[in-house]
Amino acid sequence: MKLSILDQSPILQGATPADALQESVKLVQMAEDLGFTRYWIAEHHDLAGLACSAPEVMIPYLGAHTEKIRIGSGAVLLPHYKPYKIAELYNMLATLFPNRIDVGIGRAPGGSAEATMALSDNFLEGVRKMPGSVEELLKFLYNDFPKEHMFSKVSASPVPIVPPEPWLLGTSGKSAVLAAENGMAYAFGQFMSDHDGSEIVENYRNQFKKKGALDTPSVILSVAAICAETTEKAEELALSTRLWGIQSELGGGSGRIPSLDEAKHYFSANEEIRREKEASSNLIVGSPRVVKQKLTELQEQYCVDELMIVTITPTYKDRMRSYQLIAEELL
């Protein structure tokens, strides 16, 4: 099994955005040492508790502090941007960091309606044009516009020896079909989807058409997990993530990831809410043995050889330890 990391750059209680981004550097270095395959950093806009709004700025910083691990976006929110500019950015990164760059593409707004309006003149129109934008981006990356096309003489320079590896990220059948029709690799966000993911991934495989550099379908399954030495400790750490989810939905809180003490205090008075969150969550929680079993079951269910893990805990030390324990079990 290959393991990778999706980093949302969480800002913990008592920490600053600068702290969160520096902790991402420490995490990517540890991931490389432990043998993780790739490290993607997310794009969010004015979203309380998450620090990274510009993966294209953070990726070269991560690359400069590592040597071989693949690095990329999880994801570039394409409806906000013109494909040509994204191709230029990631071709530049692929030139600076040869054979290490992934460009993950998504269609979500990445923030509130107000933040979306501040960023884009017409985000919904960008979503409507998403299929065409994906196709155009791929043609810029592979430099294969037809001769009669108006962009046939336009180069997304600098052109790297090895193009960035494009992935489409999604949580629905629509994204899977779009990836398949364009011959792209597909990353399914199981941790944030309510759909039958195994059926979606199977449809992607069945409808895959070879168009670019990818010969056969390729899938990453993105999951949320918290691992600790014991399941009891892992369940305790998960309280912060669960409370942050409630605060994000209902408002309130400081905007930071709640401390463990704050989470314990909240759920001690709201035991029924805790049970409801545990029952409805896709979050994998447990000891190394328990987490390994659950991840292996997902791997077999989805028939994938790579899992991408997102982890948010009340301290950065606990997050590092969680990834370390999982790696020791599975790598």
- The whole-number average pLDDT for the span 32-51 is 96
Q: Omega into 158 within 30° of 0, i.e. cis? A: yes
**288-325 burial code (b ≥16 CB/10 A, e <16):** bebbbeebeebbeebebebbbbbbbbbbbebbbbbbbb
With cut-offs at 50, 70 and 90, classify the pLDDT of residue 220.
very high
pLDDT in tens, 271-320: 888 888 777 789 999 999 999 999 999 999 999 999 999 999 999 999 99
Class of domain 2-226+285-330: alpha beta
- Residues 141 and 166 sit within 8 Å (Cβ to Cβ): yes
Tell me what pLDDT residue 168 has: 98
Reported as a single tens digit per residue, the pLDDT across 69-105 is 999 999 999 999 999 999 999 999 999 999 999 999 9
pTM to 2 decimals?
Answer: 0.96
Residue 195's pLDDT band (cuts 50, 70, 90) = confident
The domains of the chain are located at 2-226+285-330
d(CA 287, CA 291): 6
